Structure 1
Amino acid sequence: MRIVIAGAHGKIARQLGAMLVQRGDSALGLIRNPDHAADLRADGVEPQLADLEDIDVAVLAALLSDVDAAVFAAGAGPGSGAARKDTVDRAASALFADACERTGIHRFVQVSSMGTTRPNPPDVDPVFGAYLDAKRAAEEDLRRRALDWTILRPGRLTDDPPTGRVTLAESVGRADVTRADVAAVLLALLDEPASAGRALELVNGETPIPEALRAALG
């Protein structure tokens, strides 16, 4: 398969791209910073400059003409303000989905966040609240589309080594999850048609990823 990853230089996305390449798939990585291209090439991922905050949907769709599936892993990132939470975490997701629909890419996996299934706490930090609002709106947009979408909501992200063991379900308690394990679960979800139309939460746990996926989708 040929997979396009939006936000391809992110910590989860880079690991996913490398995993795809290692198993023999082709990965196209969308990036906004040309300085990141060399890192993707070193991973075996084909870099493509595409600023999802400043690109026409028709231009973006033309870049995806030979793609089989899409992963939205972009995010405004730490240090960005509330405005960019909206333009990246919501608007860029919708633009990316628009381009996929135009190109006939049906499989779409979105990295979201825990906390989107309930109202924000009254004492939430305003920027984090804007982030949750943006992720919530991106999920709602995706649910209205005729795509084979899957939404993955990881818990608190860490850079610890992968464990290969997770808890994966429609609702789980808040806990940590390694970025490497998130990438591994994304890889598994791409291969699983039964995950289409499902939104799943993910934290580290005791169950090997293949078994956790079977249980969550059973």
Structure 2
Amino acid sequence: MIVNGFSRKLSSNLIKAIPQSFISCNHRNPLNRKANVKFYSNSNNNGEYLKNISKMQKQLPIYACGEIVRGFGRGSKELGIPTANMSLEAVKALPDSLQTGVYYGWAKVNDSDVHKMVLSIGWNPFYNNKEKSVETHILHEFKCDLYGRTLKICIVGYLRPEQNFDSLEALIETINSDIDQAKTLLDSVDSKQFKENSFFKETIEKS
């Protein structure tokens, strides 16, 4: 289910009525429409890249919530970059117009603090996945297993389209570059306002 609107707060009655496997809310409000957001380009075609950025940014922010499920087991073991994966149901509930690629924003697991995150949406061409996935790398070290816990995310901005790589090393290098860019962008005043959104303070009751 997708809920769009300008409200900065989710109605508690509405939250209870929505299936708890996924909630996606666009909490845009007039204060956010003039946000001064900077972007980094990894593309040789800057004109096309900036056009794409503009298109994606009009859909953001997007707020989503879902259960953390087991992924492909590659994040920690092969890449050294652990991810929290949302259920297939949650992935399918995202807007069709939301382009695959790498995004940045904020994330919260259960009652933890809100942390910076980098998000990959798509099929991971390097691995030739058969199913679309949403993989969130939270910039925080958790000391426990996250499976079965509730993940809330706020997608703030778009970094780049998904792409294939010639080697695992090139993939890891690009992901680390994405992380560095996300850290910088999320330190801006405009990005920090989304961290304080009431979405992260609402209690989600599992049905």
What is the TM-score with the length of structure 2 in the denominator? 0.27
Q: What TM-score, normalized to structure 1?
A: 0.26
By relative contact order (CA 8 Å, sep 6+), the higher-ranking structure is: 2
